[in-house]
Amino acid sequence: MNIGNSFTISGKSFYWIFLACIGLLLCAYNIYLISVPFTGGREGLPVLLTRLFLEGVNPYTPEMMPTYANPYGIFYNFIVLPFALIFEPDLVLHRSVSATATISSVTILFLSVKRIGATTPVALNISLIWYAQSLVLLNPLARVDAMGIAFYILAISIPFFKNFTKQSFFIAALLAIIAFFIKQYFFLSGLILTITSFFIIGPTFSIILTVFMIGFIIILLSALTFIFPLYIENMILSGAAYYVFSFPYLLGQMLHFIMENIFLLLFFCFLALRFLFETSTAERPFKSSKGLSIFYKNRFNFTSLWSYNWRETKIKTAFIFSNYYYLIALILILPFALFAQGLANSYEAAYLTHLIAPLIFVHLARLFTITYSASTTTILSVSLIWAVAAIPLPERSDDRTKWGQWTDLLSKKNNISAPYPFSILLDDLDKPIYDAGIASTYEWSLQNASLNNAWRIWHYKAFKEKQHQMLLNKDFDLVIRRPNVIKTGEQESLQHEHIIGYKLIRSLRLPYIIPHGPTSDNKTLWSKIHVAFEKRFRKYHWPGINYDVYEPL
């Protein structure tokens, strides 16, 4: 095989076999993640909301709070509902919908990479790496994330696919609105549409598009609030006390994101620096790079951008946006993604992974295409990522046995006080539910009490008082709690009140899928290395998933 030239026939055949095997491996792993019976982070809430809708119960009423509190949008459940009418509304269905959304985002990424001129092997390779990263960093969970990413990427990509026509911007605006009602920060795609349309089409159209999106959101919020009285309270106001910006936390999350994607980022920086160096120093088309030669012939002088009249300046600005669309989108989104990551109490760099990772993948492919064209060097360079950073490495464990023990234990009791990871299991066993997914997070509202979040405190205060009285009355025949003190760095968080009148009968590990990060059953070779490395520098890490089980004396 001749490095630096195009593939030989045998090299192409081997590479296609390699990609086919990788694709089958990822699909098999995806199916495995869908089929595991135990839940991931807050998976119970979307599943239980779908079941309530099917039963004709309105979850957005005061009597349902905070047990069924939902800080995300409602469109995820609306999209799942037609399938839930046909199939069982369980974890498998919701995870399958999320997996379909993930595959859709991979397909959009593939088409975007092809659109910028990458060869099919490069486009497929980049897309499969994003698929592998999604399975490790996102997981096909019964959550809103995967679907939100699909609409987010599609909203950004539609104008690019349709040559930035006015119609494409309006279609993309509708998709951005849907993304907002799935998970709020995915509406950042609307920011891209507003700024891009301003420079490519004009200020008037950009203003019209912005008013259209904001007006449509206000109308939908009003309609949803009319149907679901506490919808705005849940979706818009729920972060009043929960979100507090922390710069040290942001730095820790940035470190994790960089370590998780270190090979992709190193390739990205290397190609960007090589591209900038060659375009700034060369005086003629490059003989060593066909793709870069083509780019060089069509380049223009950036420094003279504002030396012409307004019309020529607009044309050149439009040229920049159309040819560097995903890079500009990345630059525009990055500060908002960093702010959101520092503000939110999410983990494993979730916001950065959601918002900027797909854009990095697309521009990475563009730099590859410009710098190396279809050379074997490109293929081999990208393929190196698979060795350590992308291929999931499932491990053998006793998770299913542990889950069977929990199922057997809970099936023998009637009234159980348990945290949200047990909510779907309790519903399957026809037991009462006290925390569908978010209620326990309201405890932080009490720690940050202020007039702005008083509405949350009222809900949670009544909720806590009711549970406390039930504990005193020994109404529960089983109480499941994390150990009373959970250490997170230098802080100690008292997650649960002392169990009065109950005796500890056992401690048992709960199988659990952690989204946005490697778990005991969901790692890559590189994640094993860098997580161990980070624990030397980060005081916070996932505290473990052990629960104490109490019975009344």
Give 300-311 as a DSSP string: --GGGGGGS-HH
Cα 6 to its chain centre, rounded Å, is 36
pLDDT band at 295; cut points 50, 70, 90 = very low
Is the model's pLDDT at 6 over the cut of 50? no
Query: Given this model, what pLDDT does residue 527 score?
Result: 57
Q: Is the pLDDT of residue 84 over 90?
A: yes
Report pLDDT digits (tens) over 507-532: 887 776 654 443 444 455 555 555 54
Out of 39-48, 93-102, 224-233, 285-294, the most confident range is 93-102
Residues ≥6 apart with Cβ < 8 Å to 99: 30, 33, 34, 140, 146
Largest CA distance in the chain: 86
pLDDT (mean) for 424-438: 89
**What mean pLDDT comes out for the span 299-304?**
46
What is the reported pLDDT for 431? Answer: 92
**466 Cβ partners below 8 Å, 6+ apart?**
none
State mean pLDDT over 103-107. Answer: 93
Q: How many CB atoms lie within 10 A of CB 92?
A: 15
Q: Which of 465, 491, 69 is nearest to 241 (CA)?
A: 69
How many other C-beta atoms can be found within 10 angstroms of the C-beta atom of residue 304? Answer: 11
* Contacts of 246 by beta carbon, 8 Å cutoff, 6+ apart: 342
User: What number is the average pLDDT over the span 482-495?
Assistant: 48
**Who wins on pLDDT, 490 or 509?**
509
Average pLDDT (252-274) is: 76
pLDDT class for 390, splitting at 50, 70, 90? low
Residue 254 has pLDDT above 70, yes or no: yes
Q: Give residue limits of the domains in the chain.
A: 399-552
Q: What is the distance, to the nearest Å, from the Cα of residue 412 to the centroid of all Cα atoms in its chain?
A: 37
CB-count exposure of residue 519 (10 Å: 0-12, 13-18, 19+): buried
Position with higher pLDDT, 40 vs 202: 202
pLDDT of residue 488: 43
User: Which has the minimum average pLDDT: 100-104, 295-299, 382-386?
Assistant: 295-299
Q: How is residue 165 written in tokens?
A: 């026509």
The per-residue pLDDT for 78 is 95
Q: How confident is the model at residue 195 (pLDDT cuts 50, 70, 90)?
A: very high
Q: What is the pLDDT of residue 347?
A: 60
| Percent of the chain with pLDDT strictly greater than 90 | 26
pLDDT of residue 35: 84
The Cα 177–Cα 194 span in angstroms is 13
What is residue 247's predicted lDDT score, i.e. its pLDDT?
Answer: 81
Say yes or no to pLDDT of 542 above 70.
no
pLDDT at 190: 94
Could you tell me which of 351, 511, 345 has the C-alpha nearest to residue 425? 511
| Cα 339 off chain centre by | 16
pLDDT tens digits, 110-142: 999 888 887 787 788 888 888 887 877 677 788
Q: Is residue 155 helix, strand or coil?
A: helix
User: Which of 52-56, 85-89, 548-552 is least confident?
Assistant: 548-552
What's the mean per-residue pLDDT of the chain? 76
What's residue 152's pLDDT?
95
